[in-house]
Structure 1
Amino acid sequence: MARLAFLGLGVMGGPMAGHLARAGHEVTVYNRTAQKADAWATANGGSAARTPREAAEGAEAVLACVGNDDDLRQICLGPDGAFAGMAPGSIFIDHTTVSAAVTRELAAAAEAAGIAYVDAPVSGGQAGAENGALSIMCGGSEEDFARAEPIVAAYAKICRRMGPVGAGQLTKMANQIAIAGLVQALSESMNFAARAGLDTAAVVEVISQGAAGSWQMVNRHATMAAGQFEHGFAVDWMRKDLAICLATAEQVGASLPVTALVDQFYKEVQGMGGGRWDTSALVARLTR
């Protein structure tokens, strides 16, 4: 069992850190809102730190799951950042969905300090984090991945090295591109079925068993039909991710016409006051 630090206790990070504690690791947590870190420590038997540096001191591995590029830089760099407290030979494992550019920037800073770095964004949403069944896509050297894998196994359904540093983030972009198109297609399908006078639940039961089936269809059709959008990843965060996808597509010469269109549909959902609704809220703009 290892001495670990976990930075960021949102809807994903909190449960992930809990799985590490239940696996027997000694876990110190940091959160921007100190009360949340204190509450986690009380509930899970770990300890809370007031700065990322304090949390990282003495840790064999530091894990993070925060909001965006700037948040990640803030917890890593500077006199109170995690890198300042990490010892040479320790490893930083980042579960945040960020740009590949900031990943490479921070990996270079870590390397200069003798710290290993693995980018390890996750997919599976809040339910996956709570159930310990996340898909984890990693970037880093084979040696560093081999060190990270047994730690993150506490909440992984699958964990795979996708290539060098940054490859995990690029794979997560592919994941978000696929999800955006799937949710929009499901929204259109359900709206069409309802307006055509069909029983949408019966339609989904039939078509989910064929080529149209998807995780989104099986797990979100009922809540979408009920107008319930409190079941996972928020629209605001999805737009952040899609912005990264679209910017990276420009850099690599990939065409993402459907993704660009769905991003604008999510913008409409934000305009409806649905920034904190989950990503299946795309159906709301069709049924209003």
Structure 2
Amino acid sequence: MAKVAFLGLGVMGYPMAGHLAAKGHELRVYNRSTAKAEAWVAQHGGSLGRTPAEAAHGAEFVMTCVGNDGDLRAVCAGPDGAFDGMSEGAILVDHTTVSAQVTRELYGIAKERGFGFVDAPISGGQAGAENGVLSVMCGGDQADYDAAEPVIAAYAKICRRLGQSGAGQLTKMCNQIAIAGLVQGLSESLHFAEKAGLSISDVVEVISQGAAGSWQMANRYKTMEEDRFDFGFAVDWMRKDLDICLRTANENGASLPVTALVDQFYKDVQKMGGNRWDTSSLIARLRKLG
């Protein structure tokens, strides 16, 4: 069992840290909102740090799960950041979805200071975090990954190293690119079924067993049918992720026409007031268009 600091107790981080505690790891947590950290400690035990540095002090592994590039820089390398509290040989595992650029930047700083740094973005949504069955895609030095993988296993269905620093974030971009087109296709399929007078449940029961089947279809079709989106992965966060994908594509020469189009569709959803709606709300845009 390891001494672990967990920084960031949002909808993903809160249950992930809970799985670590349930496995017997010694946890100290930090959250920007102290009340959330206090609630976590009251539920799971462990202790809390008032700053990232305090939480990271003495930890063998420091897990981060925050919002964006700026948040990650601040929690790692800002004033009272985790790097100020970590000891030589400790390893930071970042579960935030950020750019490969900031990942490599922080990896370099960590290495200069004698720390390991593994980028380990996650997929599986809130349900995956709560059930401990996330897909974790990692980049970084092999030795650091090998040390961290048994700890990550507390909430992972699959965990793989894809290459050097940044490879995990690039793989997460592949994940988000695939999801964007898939959710738009699913939205159009269900919208078409409605317009054709078909039962969505009956249609999905049949087509989900064939080549059209997907996680999104199995887990989102019912709430899409009900026009209910007050849960899940927010449109604002998806647009943040797609912006990272599109900027990276401009750098590496990849062509992402469908991703760029779906990003604009999500912009339309935001204009409808759906900033915090689940990403499956693309169907709401189609319904509005008629």
TM-score > 0.5 by shorter chain: yes
Deviating beyond 6 angstroms after TM superposition, the runs of 4 or more aligned structure 1 residues are: none
Output aligned runs, 1:5-24, within 5 Å. 5-24=5-24
**Which residue identity lines up with residue 65 of structure 2 in the other structure?**
C
Match of 1:120 in 2: 120
Provide the rounded CA distance (Å) in 2 between the counterparts of 1:126 and 1:46.
23
Map of 1:89-238 to 2, 5 A cutoff?
89-238=89-238
Matched, 1:75 2:71: no
**Distance apart, 1:140 and its partner CA:** 0.8
Does residue 39 (structure 1) correspond to residue 72 (structure 2)? The answer is: no
> Structure 1 CA distance, aligned partners of 2:19 and 2:275?
29
Q: How does 1:200-279 map to 2 (within 5 A)?
A: 200-279=200-279
SS of residue paired to 1:135: strand
Residue by residue over 1:81-115, the C-alpha shift from the partner in whole angstroms, topping out at 9 and shown as x without a partner, is: 00010001000000000000000000001001000
Tell me the TM-score normalized by structure 1.
0.99
> Which structure 1 segments of 5+ residues have no match?
none
Aligned residue number for residue 86 of structure 1: 86
| Matched letter for residue 273 of structure 1 | G
| SS class of match (2:10) | coil
* Structure-2 separation of matches of 1:36 and 1:222: 31
AA matched with 2:91: I
Q: Which amino acid aligns with 1:31?
A: N
SS in 2 for 1:87: coil
Aligned twin of 2:55: 55
- Tell me, what secondary structure is at the counterpart of 1:162? strand
Please report how far the alpha carbon of residue 228 of structure 1 lies from its aligned counterpart in structure 2 after TM superposition: 1.0
Count of paired positions: 288
How many Å separate the matches in 2 of 1:100 and 1:62? Answer: 19
Deviations 1:226-274 (A, max 9, x none): 0111331100000000000000001110000000000000000000000
Over the residues paired in the alignment, what is the CA RMSD in angstroms?
A: 0.6
- In the aligned structure 1, how far is the partner of 2:30 from the partner of 2:281? 31
Structure 2 unaligned segments of length 5 or more: list them: none
Percent identical among aligned pairs is 70
Shift of 1:45: 0.5
Deviation track 1:62-87 (CA, whole Å, cap 9, x = no partner) reads: 00000000000000113300001000
